[in-house]
């Protein structure tokens, strides 16, 4: 089948027609990807080979497409359904920049009519990563999507609240009953507020001023911090140092799962977010958690309570478009970058 491949670590993206067409297991769907969004992990994997079990490797882990075949035990989906989400990375059948890829029934989202396929392509990795951080890492109760909690006076600090993971972290924090203070640069204030942030702090201003502002706004009611940027452990330590004597356990979750941040001020509990192993048989805990979280997010998406991120769509349709989208994303796009891979 056609698609994008990379032959080796640091190899180039190439459009090819010699990829092996995946075959769905009993609990899987064969999906024709229509739109794919780029994530920082695509380039990280190409450059380093991390998480890649088989070469050639096909990128793109944020996919929206159409079900063309179902495994013998699939019950929730049928041929023709539109699905989206992240199914994992680096193993055969996971790459979305191809004519076909595999979705597992348990961790697939069904696309509601009010969201376009292009929008849906932006909603997998961000939601799923934020969900792990908040509901596994920050001691935030998984809400009942039919009966959402009222907003309490407790805050979540979301570092990178205008980005993809950060935007969904803002949305899901609010829907879980928390107020949100988002750390963003000027260009992302609008996005963070659109996602529901109550307050913002500019990460490009002097650190002491940011910490003072956070303390002043949250007034002893900040116990939960999520870093969706990967590079802010030192900043978080400064915030924790300031709030460590406030009553209550403190929690810090970070998308940086490769650095040990040591003992944190106030003995805050650290949770490294790790979506990477999703979809692999050995990642039982993450697969089960995500299956539970996706069921909740699905209801919220259907009810328009979780909204897609803004995105840039690159010109053209085809697998070349995904390669172009990676270039645009690497150039520092403030928005998610999406490519149309195939006609519907
Ligand atoms: N561990 C995992 O399982 C996992 C899963 C998914 C993603 N990730 C990682 O998570 C990171 C974010 O991914 P993404 O897709 O959300 O990227 P993204 O959409 O590009 O968002 C990154 C955001 O970080 C903000 N930012 C950069 N430096 C900051 C700072 N010092 N303080 C506060 N905000 C800052 C940027 O804001 P401005 O645009 O305003 O500068 C941008 O909004 C990437 O490193 C990615 O590899 C990890």
pLDDT attached to residue 86 = 98
Asked whether 197 lines ligand 1 (CB < 6 A), one says no
Does residue 60 belong to any structural domain of this protein?
yes
pLDDT attached to residue 231 = 85
Overall number of domains in the chain: 2
Distance 129 CA to ligand 1 centre (A): 11
- Residue among 331, 296, 301 at smallest CA distance from 145: 296
Does residue 303 belong to any structural domain of this protein?
no
Q: Is the dihedral of CA 6, 7, 8, 13 positive or negative?
A: negative
Q: For residue 149, give the 3-state DSSP assignment.
A: coil
Do 262 and 142 belong to one domain? Answer: yes
**Whose Cα sits closest to atom 33 in ligand 1?**
160
Asked whether 122 lines ligand 1 (CB < 6 A), one says no
pLDDT attached to residue 261 = 87
Do 70 and 142 belong to one domain? Answer: no
Does residue 331 belong to any structural domain of this protein?
yes
**Residue of 40, 41, 85 to mutate, ligand 1, most atoms within 8 A of C-beta:** 40
Q: Do residues 179 and 153 make contact, with C-beta atoms less than 8 angstroms apart?
A: yes
Q: Relative to the CA of 162, which ligand 1 atom is closest? A: 43
Asked whether 204 lines ligand 1 (CB < 6 A), one says no
Partners of 4 in the β-ladder: 15
Do 241 and 141 belong to one domain? Answer: yes
Does residue 156 belong to any structural domain of this protein?
yes
Rounded (10°) CA dihedral 202, 204, 207, 212 = -20
> Strand 311-317 to strand 222-227: parallel, antiparallel, or no bridges (unpaired)?
unpaired
Do 104 and 234 belong to one domain? Answer: no
pLDDT attached to residue 106 = 96
pLDDT attached to residue 185 = 96
Q: What's the CATH number where 146 sits? A: 3.40.50.720
Do 148 and 264 belong to one domain? Answer: yes
Asked whether 164 lines ligand 1 (CB < 6 A), one says yes
pLDDT attached to residue 312 = 97
Does residue 135 belong to any structural domain of this protein?
yes
Write down the pTM of the prediction.
Answer: 0.98
pLDDT tens for the chain, 344 residues long, are 999 999 999 999 999 999 999 999 999 999 999 999 999 999 999 999 999 999 999 999 999 999 999 999 999 999 999 999 999 999 999 999 999 999 999 999 999 999 999 999 999 999 999 999 999 999 999 999 999 999 999 999 999 999 999 999 999 999 999 999 999 999 999 999 999 999 999 999 999 999 999 999 999 999 999 999 998 899 999 999 999 999 999 999 999 998 888 999 999 999 999 999 999 999 999 999 999 999 999 999 999 999 998 999 999 999 999 999 999 999 998 899 999 999 99
Do 34 and 114 belong to one domain? Answer: yes
pLDDT attached to residue 190 = 95
Do 143 and 213 belong to one domain? Answer: yes
- Residue among 147, 141, 200 at smallest CA distance from 173: 141
Do 189 and 60 belong to one domain? Answer: no
Do 324 and 237 belong to one domain? Answer: no
54 preceded by cis ω (within 30°)?
A: no
pLDDT attached to residue 91 = 97
Domain range for 25: 3-123+308-340
pLDDT attached to residue 68 = 98
The torsion angles phi and psi of 215, rounded to 5 degrees, stand at -65, -40
Asked whether 229 lines ligand 1 (CB < 6 A), one says yes
Rounded (10°) CA dihedral 110, 112, 116, 118 = -20
């Amino acid at each position: 089948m056609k698609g994008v491949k990379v032959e080796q670590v640091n190899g180039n993206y190439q459009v090819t027609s010699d990829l092996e067409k995946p075959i769905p297991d009993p609990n899987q769907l064969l999906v024709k990807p229509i739109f794919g969004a780029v994530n920082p992990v695509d380039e990280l994997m190409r450059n380093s080979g991390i998480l890649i079990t088989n070469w050639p490797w096909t990128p793109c882990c944020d996919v929206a497409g159409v079900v063309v075949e179902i495994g013998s035990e699939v019950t929730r989906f049928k041929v023709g359904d539109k699905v989206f989400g992240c199914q994992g990375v680096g193993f055969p059948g996971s790459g979305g920049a191809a004519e076909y890829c595999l979705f597992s029934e348990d961790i697939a989202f069904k696309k509601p009519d009010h969201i376009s396929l292009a929008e849906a392509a932006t909603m997998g990795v961000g939601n799923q990563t934020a969900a792990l951080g908040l509901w596994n890492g920050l001691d935030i109760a998984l809400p009942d999507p039919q009966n959402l909690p009222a907003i309490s006076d407790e805050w979540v600090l979301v570092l990178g609240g205008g980005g993809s993971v950060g935007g969904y972290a803002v949305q899901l924090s609010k829907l879980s009953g928390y107020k949100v203070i988002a750390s963003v640069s000027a260009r992302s204030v609008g996005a963070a507020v659109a996602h529901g942030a109550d307050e913002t702090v500019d990460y490009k201003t002097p650190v002491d001023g940011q910490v003072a502002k956070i303390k002043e706004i949250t007034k002893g009611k900040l116990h939960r911090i999520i870093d969706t940027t990967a590079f802010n452990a030192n900043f978080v330590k400064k915030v924790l140092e300031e709030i460590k004597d406030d009553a209550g356990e403190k929690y810090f979750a970070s998308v940086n799962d490769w650095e040990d941040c040591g003992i944190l001020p106030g003995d805050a509990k650290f949770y490294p977010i790790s979506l990477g192993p999703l979809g692999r048989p050995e990642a039982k805990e993450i697969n089960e958690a995500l299956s539970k979280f996706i069921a909740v997010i699905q209801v919220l998406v259907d009810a328009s309570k979780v909204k897609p991120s803004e995105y840039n769509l690159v010109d053209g349709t085809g697998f070349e478009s995904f390669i172009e989208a990676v270039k645009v994303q690497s150039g520092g796009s403030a928005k998610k970058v999406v490519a149309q891979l195939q006609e519907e």
